[in-house]
Chains A and B, each alone.
Chain A
């Protein structure tokens, strides 16, 4: 009785299995698989492709091979060979057909002859990228110019506070300058974007996005450096100048206006213009906060994301920065030369940057 039951169960199980696999077979494609050896060679290499790993619920009845990858299939066996007549990279396609007339394709690549060398440097990519990069450069200049312009009055205030005899002014100014000059600008940009911007938007109802946040960081940063430049400029003027002016009956204001400030201005101008040039490079940091429309570096990275021409684009970006900074420093040098006062050195006191 038990043996009989066992037999029935076994038959039923097998039948079920068969039926289910048949049922599956009704609805499933075969799976095309093959190996090709070798994967690289020359014109005298015989490439051997083996499709024995192809499988399917139904038996596979036909193997077709497209060696050139151009769509023309040649029927051959499970194993096929081929020799190429032209060098290049080929994608071999195998098409299997099973007993139910269902098909599947598989692809493998081979390299015949030397791989086409990656061109060392594609000047075309650089050239094509230029219009976009130059548009970005315009944004860079705008950002730098705005930062310097807004930072200057702030820098003057902090600078005068630094030289003040009143501790209530000079001490906070010293702290401000030390902190801003002692922390990386990138960190300041991030703090401005992540902390200052939401706070300002919530508290004052502004609508700052990455541009305003970046500008804020740059203005704060440059004002600290400018404060030091101004402080050094004022302190570089010999005290005898003020004495001579006062000693002839000038008031303090007259002395400042005609004697001190004009001289301080000449001393301050070179390092100040240098700060502008530095700022042009520093604006590239806004890529960390995703500013849009993108400045020079951001434009470059945008192009790279589309074309993958990493080398060419970064070289192009660097070149444009170089053109910007070099042109500006030449213009400034020319202006300094033009307005130079004979015998009066206008070198900036010490390296402040």
Chain B
């Protein structure tokens, strides 16, 4: 084949491969209303609320179990997907996932681009520090280096409420917590349950005190899908009434 011909064939091949790859990506969008399945996205690096186990590909945690129960009540099957925290809203709005179950606090900014179920749990922020740090209250955090997971309410709290704080934003909670263990920061601010869990496995750090933010956690759903919101709210009601919610809370020490 002449060189020019060969080049054009190669060019077309490359384009075609790209187009094919793009198509295959779209099949992730397949969850239409006909198949009764819920695809749930979660930043599953967050025990005890949501964890993804690499070794056997399973999900466990409070949010996970609660979603399973909701799906059961609604008579849906459920599939979980591990998605980075930052990517969750995008995946929700382009339909790759139906629900975000990721300890997501209901805030007005977030309500602008997604629906929320009614709150299923209330959390406070907590402050984790090195065990010999001597930090016992919020005032002592001024000017300190604080690790947070970027984009969480812990991040917002540290940024807006602690004067002089040097806020180190990490992509996920384990990196932020690890920064404390290796001494790169003085404190970590995050929802209480995962911090308690982390501190229980890392004797060099402790949860020093809580910050009473009383944040409502909700499941997020694509904006406009009010039917699904109502269905899930009904299911939540039922699980409250029949004691399942309490049972799960006890199971996870919440």
Interface residues of A (CB under 8 A from B): 31, 33, 35-36, 39-40, 53, 108-111, 115, 118, 193-194, 197-198, 201, 209-210, 213, 287-294, 298, 301-302, 304-308, 310
Name 18 A/B residue pairs within 8 A (Cβ), A-sorted: A35-B234, A36-B230, A109-B226, A111-B226, A118-B113, A194-B178, A209-B184, A289-B175, A290-B150, A290-B169, A290-B179, A301-B86, A301-B150, A301-B151, A305-B150, A305-B169, A308-B112, A310-B90
B110 proximity list for chain A (CB < 8 A): 308
Question: Per a CB cutoff under 8 Å, which of A53, A111, A308 touches B113?
Answer: A308
Q: Mark B159-171, 1 if CB is under 8 A from A, else 0.
A: 1000000111111
B100 interfacial contact with A, CB 8 Å: no
B223 interfacial contact with A, CB 8 Å: yes
| A110 nearest in chain B by CB position | B226
| B147 nearest in chain A by CB position | A290
B237 interfacial contact with A, CB 8 Å: yes
A194 proximity list for chain B (CB < 8 A): 178, 182
A292 proximity list for chain B (CB < 8 A): 145, 166-169
A-B contact count (CB 8 A): 98
- How far, in whole Å, are A53 and B183 apart by their CA atoms in the complex? 54
Q: Say how far B146's CB is from chain A's closest CB, in angstroms.
A: 9
Q: Are B159 and A197 in contact (CB under 8 A)?
A: no
Q: In chain B, residues 192-212, which have Cβ atoms closer than 8 Å to a Cβ of chain A?
A: none
B167 proximity list for chain A (CB < 8 A): 292
- How far, in whole Å, are A110 and B113 apart by their CA atoms in the complex? 16
A198 proximity list for chain B (CB < 8 A): 182-183
| A304 nearest in chain B by CB position | B151
Question: Per a CB cutoff under 8 Å, which of B112, B147, B171, B184 touches A193?
Answer: B184
| B148 nearest in chain A by CB position | A290
B239 interfacial contact with A, CB 8 Å: no
Q: Say how far B142's CB is from chain A's closest CB, in angstroms.
A: 15
Q: Which 4 A-B pairs have the closest CB atoms?
A: A290-B168, A305-B151, A39-B226, A290-B170
- How far, in whole Å, are A126 and B170 apart by their CA atoms in the complex? 23
Q: Are B89 and A288 in contact (CB under 8 A)?
A: no
Question: Per a CB cutoff under 8 Å, which of A110, A197, A290, A306 touches B109?
Answer: A306
A108 proximity list for chain B (CB < 8 A): 226, 230, 233
B155 interfacial contact with A, CB 8 Å: yes
Q: Say how far A200's CB is from chain B's closest CB, in angstroms.
A: 11
Q: Are B237 and A33 in contact (CB under 8 A)?
A: yes
Q: Say how far A76's CB is from chain B's closest CB, in angstroms.
A: 20
A294 proximity list for chain B (CB < 8 A): 169
- How far, in whole Å, are A37 and B192 apart by their CA atoms in the complex? 39
B224 interfacial contact with A, CB 8 Å: yes
Q: Say how far B176's CB is from chain A's closest CB, in angstroms.
A: 7
Q: Are A305 and B155 in contact (CB under 8 A)?
A: yes
| A193 nearest in chain B by CB position | B184
Q: Are B156 and A306 in contact (CB under 8 A)?
A: yes
| B114 nearest in chain A by CB position | A308
- How far, in whole Å, are A35 and B226 apart by their CA atoms in the complex? 11
- How far, in whole Å, are A210 and B183 apart by their CA atoms in the complex? 11
A304 proximity list for chain B (CB < 8 A): 86, 151
| B167 nearest in chain A by CB position | A292
B155 proximity list for chain A (CB < 8 A): 302, 305
B49 interfacial contact with A, CB 8 Å: no
Q: Say how far B205's CB is from chain A's closest CB, in angstroms.
A: 15
Q: Mark B221-254, 1 if CB is under 8 A from A, else 0.
A: 0011011011001100100000000000000000
| A311 nearest in chain B by CB position | B90
| A288 nearest in chain B by CB position | B171
Question: Per a CB cutoff under 8 Å, which of B109, B145, B185, B226 touches A40?
Answer: B226
B145 proximity list for chain A (CB < 8 A): 209, 292
Q: Mark B109-146, 1 if CB is under 8 A from A, else 0.
A: 11011010000000000000000000000000000010
- How far, in whole Å, are A298 and B151 apart by their CA atoms in the complex? 11
- How far, in whole Å, are A210 and B176 apart by their CA atoms in the complex? 12
Q: Are B226 and A287 in contact (CB under 8 A)?
A: no
- How far, in whole Å, are A118 and B93 apart by their CA atoms in the complex? 11
Q: Are B182 and A298 in contact (CB under 8 A)?
A: no
Q: Say how far A309's CB is from chain B's closest CB, in angstroms.
A: 9
- If A209-B184, A290-B179 touch, does A115 touch B223 (CB 8 Å cutoff)? yes
B182 proximity list for chain A (CB < 8 A): 194, 197-198
- How far, in whole Å, are A252 and B68 apart by their CA atoms in the complex? 79
- How far, in whole Å, are A291 and B152 apart by their CA atoms in the complex? 17
- How far, in whole Å, are A111 and B115 apart by their CA atoms in the complex? 12
Q: Are A290 and B151 in contact (CB under 8 A)?
A: no
Q: Are B151 and A39 in contact (CB under 8 A)?
A: no
| B107 nearest in chain A by CB position | A308
A290 proximity list for chain B (CB < 8 A): 147, 150, 168-170, 175-176, 179, 184-185
Q: Say how far B149's CB is from chain A's closest CB, in angstroms.
A: 9
| A34 nearest in chain B by CB position | B230
Q: Are A115 and B224 in contact (CB under 8 A)?
A: yes
Q: Are A293 and B226 in contact (CB under 8 A)?
A: no
Q: Say how far B90's CB is from chain A's closest CB, in angstroms.
A: 7
B171 proximity list for chain A (CB < 8 A): 287-288
Q: Are A35 and B230 in contact (CB under 8 A)?
A: yes
B89 proximity list for chain A (CB < 8 A): 308, 310
Q: Are A111 and B168 in contact (CB under 8 A)?
A: no
Q: Say how far B223's CB is from chain A's closest CB, in angstroms.
A: 7
Q: Say how far A154's CB is from chain B's closest CB, in angstroms.
A: 25
Q: Are B156 and A305 in contact (CB under 8 A)?
A: yes
| B165 nearest in chain A by CB position | A292
| Most-contacted residue by chain A among B86, B151, B169, B234 (CB, 10 A) | B169
Q: Are A109 and B183 in contact (CB under 8 A)?
A: no
A193 proximity list for chain B (CB < 8 A): 184
